[in-house]
Amino acid sequence: MAKSLLLVGFSFLLLDFVAADHSPLQDFCIAQAGSSVLVNGLACKDPKMVQANDFSFSGLHLPGNTSNAAGSRVTPVFAAQLPGPNTLGISLARVDYAPWGINPPHIHPRASEILVVQEGTLEVGFITSNPDNRLISKVLQKGDAFVFPQGLIHFQRNIGTGNAFAIAALGSQNPGVITIGNAVFGANPDVSADILAKAFQVDKSVVNQIQSKF
């Protein structure tokens, strides 16, 4: 019995070791744009070819264009836009909001996020997992910060009369974004209206109407 427990414990330790991200084995791994090498992440540029510009991004002082249905614009600074953070587990984004604009409910499957309001007043919140599905929300003013845990649905809304913007820092060079409405109602090919009608407890005609907007 003791031997079996020891074996199970060893197996869990081994699984944890194999599943965890490894610490970097070099100073940096600048993302190599256009590389044909397929890895879990982005292939590394030759360190001898690395320049200061690989670590630098400009333009975050410029407002994003919020002329869209949501009334918001995200300017990401992920490894795809800035090669320097590749493998370092960090990234950020600027989020602009028109008056009453929203950053729609979405998740980041690979990162937690901390958002700092730079201008305006934002209503922010996230929803806990089943079965509670508890909404945790707060109104933020300029200079306030709020944390969104990894993998939980969250959102922001500008409740002021003027434009607003925030800076978000995320714990991955490629946090991923799944916008709930786009994913559910804008999937390619479409999710069956029968499935969505039953899931959302509405008539199929309602589902078809929503899908037509995506």
pTM of the complete model: 0.84
Instruction: Give binding residues as ranges.
Output: 103, 106, 108, 113, 154
Phi, psi of 35 (to 5 degrees): -65, 140
As a whole number of Å, the CA-based R_g of the chain is: 21
* Per-residue model confidence (pLDDT) at position 15: 44
Q: What counts of helices (H) and strands (E) characterise the chain?
A: 4, 10
Task: List, as residue ranges, the binding site for Mn(2+).
Answer: 106, 108, 113, 154
**Residue in the structure block whose two tokens are 């256009």:** 34
Structure tokens at 198: 């039953």
Q: Rounded to 5 degrees, what are φ and ψ at 173?
A: -75, -15
Phi-psi domain of 185 (left: phi exceeds 0; alpha: psi -120 through 50; beta: other): alpha
Residue 193 three-state SS:
helix
Sign of CA dihedral 59, 105, 154, 196: negative
- Going by the annotation, the residues of the binding site for oxalate are 103, 108, 113
Q: Which residue has the tokens 């079996």?
A: 4
Query: Which residue, among 46, 153, 71, has the nearest Cα to 106 in the 3D structure?
Result: 153
Tell me whether the omega of the peptide bond preceding residue 63 falls within 30 degrees of 0, making it cis.
no
Write out the two tokens for 142: 């300029």
Diameter over CA atoms, the chain: 68
Low-confidence ranges of the chain (pLDDT < 50): 5, 7-8, 10-20
Q: Can you tell me which residue has the tokens 């991004």?
A: 57
Tell the burial category of 117 from Cβ atoms under 10 Å away from its Cβ (0-12, 13-18, 19+).
buried
The Cα 186–Cα 212 span in angstroms is: 8
pLDDT of residue 11: 47
Contact 122, 140 (CB under 8 A): yes
Closest CA to 125 of 135, 116, 133, 114: 135
